[in-house]
Structure 1
Amino acid sequence: MTATLDDLVSLRVATVDGVAEVTLVGPGKGNAMGPDFWRELPLVFGALDADPEVRAVILTGAGPNFSYGLDLPAMMSTWAPLLADRALAGPRSAFLDEIRALQAAVTSVAVCRKPVVAAVAGWCIGGGVDLIAAADVRLASADARFSVREVKVAIVADLGSLQRLAGIVGEGHLRELAFTGKDIDASRAERIGLVNDVHPDRDAVLAAARELAGEVAANPPLVVQGVKDVLGQRREQQVADGLRYVSAWNAAFLPSEDLGEATSAFLERRAPRFRGE
């Protein structure tokens, strides 16, 4: 790995027999995705993409959960001035840049030439779903739970779930998940195609991911990369167009009373009261 990966805070990387294992380690509760994560994710996947010794990648979370998603309090401390009620063009343009930087971080997983296998145990919420949607294959433990939860915090999901999941689970399932923000279990996730297989526990799903990644790594690496490139040729352009649209939409419309209420309710551990303002 390059020197830029020597001091990772939110991710741990280990490579064995051509398979790199990238583990989310926080430091936020439930591997929540704060500023360190968004800075480090593209560095890690850029390095893995360029490393000729890496032939496949496993993406997983430390501890009982994959990720609670966006670390909203940590991120809002930076975003608050950009989301002020009367923010003009300058702050909104800066917020657009912020959204697109986060999008690019997730996209670094999708465009990595090495196939990526996500091994999910426990909760996978919001940004966690964006992240696994950018992987090539998803496996889950029996206790895994998934939620496209942005609607619950007055946000239009803007990091890739709305663009990538339709091709994975279909439009009907995606709309249900995105409109409701509901939680689904591993069994339903398997039925709708969000995950390929369900395994008994975290150890078992990680073992299955390692076996699958090992099978990939044993094949001719340039051919495997070619297969991924061909499969993604049309999809990634459509995703890119969708990401640009939703980033512009959120930069224009995300600042709202409902967003402030969602943040306050989260911090105060109460149910939000949305008014459509």
Structure 2
Amino acid sequence: MTESKTWNAFTVERKDRVARVTLIGPGKGNAMGPDFWSELPEIFGELDADPEVRAVVIAGSGKHFSFGLDLPAMSGSFGAVLADKAQAGPRTAFHDTIKRMQSGINAVADCRKPVIAAVHGWCIGGGVDLISAADIRYASADARFSIREVKVAIVADMGSFARLPAIIGDGHLRELALTGKDIDSARAEKIGLINDVYEDADAVLAAAHATATEIAANPPLVVQGIKDVLDHSRSAAVNDSLRYVAAWNAAFLPSQDLTEAITAVFEKREPEFTGE
């Protein structure tokens, strides 16, 4: 495979009309810090415009797909709005930050080239947002999934709530989102979060590339048309959900519980939530 550009949070390789985008951190477990959110829309914008790319595989490096949002690295983005009696200015800036972050996941969903997610190890929070934007999801037997934002006093706002109802249904989504529980690959396959389970990380990556290669052999404009038609019926609902949660979080997310969650991460302890 050939790599065209150096990124901080990803590698991007192209071979035989298939691109592979690999999360590389730099946070532990490929956690999603500032570089992830700034580079993701640029990468998928380039892949969308590249006529030599007909399908994309997205995977994680190391032992895991992603631990999700890198809270320590992103804590600065919460700072002003967490200040006591934050006024309209900080809240507007925070709303803009949420919208910019959403644009990265949206770029994956809106890419005209089909995207196949190959998941191994942990896929937490923002990792689930990311794979919900893919067209096809495969996982290794050791994969684990969690919509864990509730555990850190955050309403998930990067797309899981918008896209997963069409993938796993309302009841399963509510169970996962309200509890923040972990599920294994067998349960994920049973509820439809993933298409198939493979033995290990190498096998799931090979399967994703095989599917991408199969797609890439089809007429590219027809493939793009299929994506466009399938996305049409739900795009308005997804966009409306993303706009609503961005506004809701700008107004209501700042809390003592969120401050406690961030502090607990830095202090490596369990948070104690008070509902304030």
TM-score under structure 1 length normalisation:
0.97
Instruction: Give me the whole-angstrom Cα distance separating, in 1, the residues matched to 2:9 and 2:29.
Output: 11
Provide the residue aligned with 1:114 in structure 2. 113
Matched with 2:199 is: 200
Q: Which residue of 1 aligns with 2:89?
A: 90
- Which residue of structure 2 aligns with residue 161 of structure 1? 160
1:78 CA drift (Å): 3.1
Q: Percent identity?
A: 66
Contact 1:83–1:92 (8 Å) recurs in 2 = no
For 1:226-241, what aligned pairs fall within 5 Å after superposition? 226-241=225-240
- How far apart are the structure 1 equivalents of 2:171 and 2:184? 17
Deviates more, 1:78-87 or 1:248-257: 78-87
The Cα offsets for residues 126-158 of structure 1, whole Å up to 9 and x where unpaired, read as 000000000000000000000000000000000
Equivalent residue pairs, number: 274
Instruction: State the partner residue of 2:223.
Output: 224
Partner letter of residue 241 of structure 1? D
Runs of 5+ consecutive residues of structure 1 not aligned to the other structure:
none
- Secondary structure of the 2:274 match is coil
Q: How does 1:136-155 map to 2 (within 5 A)?
A: 136-155=135-154
Structure 1 counterpart SS, 2:244? helix
Distance, in Å, in 2 between the alignment partners of 1:93 and 1:229 is: 32
2:101 corresponds in structure 1 to 102
**1:44: which partner in 2?**
43
Aligned-partner residue type, residue 184 of structure 2: D
CA displacement, residues 80-114 of structure 1 (integer Å, 9 cap, x when unaligned)? 11321211000000000000000111000000000
| 3-state SS of 2:161 partner | helix
Q: Measure how far apart 1:178 and its partner are.
A: 0.3
Q: Which residue of 2 aligns with 1:76?
A: 75
Instruction: Report the CA distance between 1:269 and its aligned residue.
Output: 1.7
Contact 1:24 1:66 in 2 (8 A): yes
* Contact 1:165-1:174 within 8 A present in 2 as well: yes
Aligned residues: CA RMSD: 1.1
Q: Distance in 2 between matches of 1:113 and 1:237?
A: 17
User: What CA distance in whole angstroms lies between the structure 1 residues aligned with 2:181 and 2:78?
Assistant: 26
Q: What is the SS of the residue equivalent to 1:110?
A: helix
- AA aligned to 1:159 is M
Task: Give the match for residue 258 of structure 1.
Answer: 257
Does the 8 A contact of 1:85 with 1:256 survive in 2? no
Superposed displacement of residue 217, structure 1: 0.3
The whole-number CA distance in structure 2 between the counterparts of 1:93 and 1:135 is 30
- Give 1:237 shift: 1.4
Contact 2:122 2:145 in 1 (8 A): yes
Report the CA distance between 1:234 and its aligned residue.
1.8
Deviations 1:228-259 (A, max 9, x none): 00000021211000000000000000110100
Q: What stretches of structure 1 move > 3 A for 4+ residues in a row? A: none
Q: Which residue of 2 aligns with 1:127?
A: 126
Aligned to 1:33: 32
| Structure 2 unaligned residues grouped into runs of 5+ | none
1:46-103 alpha-carbon deviations (Å, 9 max, x no partner): 0000000000000000011000000011111232113212110000000000000001
